[in-house]
Amino acid sequence: MANETAKFVRFHTLGGPEVLKIQNEPLPEPGKGEVRLNVKAIGLNRAESMFRRGHYLETPVLPSKLGYEAAGVVSAVGPDVDKSWIGKKASTVPAFLMTNYGVYGEVAIVPASALAIYPEKLTPEEGTSIWMQYLTAYGALIAHAHITNADFVVITAASSSVGIAAIEMVRVEGATSIATTRTSRKKSALAEVGATHVIATQEEDFLARVQEITGGKGVRVIFDPIGGNGIEKLAQATAVGGTIFEYGALAPEPTPFPLFTALSKGLSIRGYTLREVLFDPKLRAKAQQYVFDHIEAGNFKPRIDRVFPFAQIVEAHRYMESNEQIGKIVVRV
């Protein structure tokens, strides 16, 4: 056992995808509260690209691990962890900091509390493509906004895995989704996954279309991972008393506060991350059950855009940064 090694992805400097290196390291043993997962598939997230560049909520300690989501089989458990986990198929919920843990590797040490059983009918590639996206959408749209069939919901950057999860969730709750994407290229795919309306923002007048769709009322809920200067237009698209959930910072520029629009509408602009769901045990359990049940019922289906082999982790990250994808990028180990 002592001589066994496994391959892991590490980065020794901050920067673009090329800083990612695959290296051999001794097989790690799980400590207190931890398990070792034999990884079959890794789900990529934009947060990992931001972390690698040093633009995330936490700053990496170099050389750094990376990765929130993996699916695989539990092969070892720490001294205080229930041994019945061994041999079980599970995927990771991103309920840890990447400064402490990372799942890019042939094996991953993760907290036992970050494991979740995924529906049996899913492949490992699909099993690693559910928790980040559906739980993120759940926290904003269900737990906070309590969307109903009377609501219009704008979903920006809608071709991301979280965007698609939000479209499916809005449809399940009977509300009307208005998905945005930059060009018409992704329009039909977004309609396919259930978007009620799709606006190509570089080709259409976003505000005019929202006014037309909502009969001039505006939308009560906006779910936005971009921020930046676009927030002024989003603010103008809201109904009186509406809420903009900002759950990311993809725009390169700072995000100004649209004060006059906010004043005139009693508008709420709310910073939100998945951590609000993950660090509240009752809410997390409820959210996971909601996602599990809707996947089992066939209402939610993780959409995988492309699968890369583990040796092509750099190419997979390049592709993620190209914004070409519709859905989740997965790496098969």
Report how far residue 74's alpha carbon sits from residue 85's, in angstroms, rounded to the nearest whole number: 6
Whole-prediction pTM: 0.95
At 280, give phi and psi (nearest 5°).
-115, 100
Q: Which of 318, 328, 228 is nearest to 15 (CA)?
A: 318
**Tens digits of residue pLDDT in 86-119:** 999 999 999 999 999 999 999 999 999 999 999 9
Is the domain spanning 132-275 CATH 3.40.50.720? The answer is yes
Domain boundaries, the chain: 5-130+302-332, 132-275
**Tens digits of residue pLDDT in 37-67:** 999 999 999 999 999 999 999 999 999 999 9
What would you measure as the largest C-alpha separation in the chain, in angstroms?
A: 68
Count how many Cα atoms sit within 13 Å of the Cα of residue 154 in the half-sphere of its side chain. 34
User: For residue 227, which amino acid is it?
Assistant: G
Q: Is the pLDDT of residue 1 over 50?
A: no
User: Given this model, what pLDDT does residue 2 score?
Assistant: 52
Q: Is the pLDDT of residue 139 over 90?
A: yes
Q: What is the chain's alpha carbon radius of gyration, rounded to the nearest angstrom?
A: 20
**CATH homologous superfamily for the domain 5-130+302-332:** Medium-chain alcohol dehydrogenases, catalytic domain (3.90.180.10)
Report how far residue 226's alpha carbon sits from residue 159's, in angstroms, rounded to the nearest whole number: 13
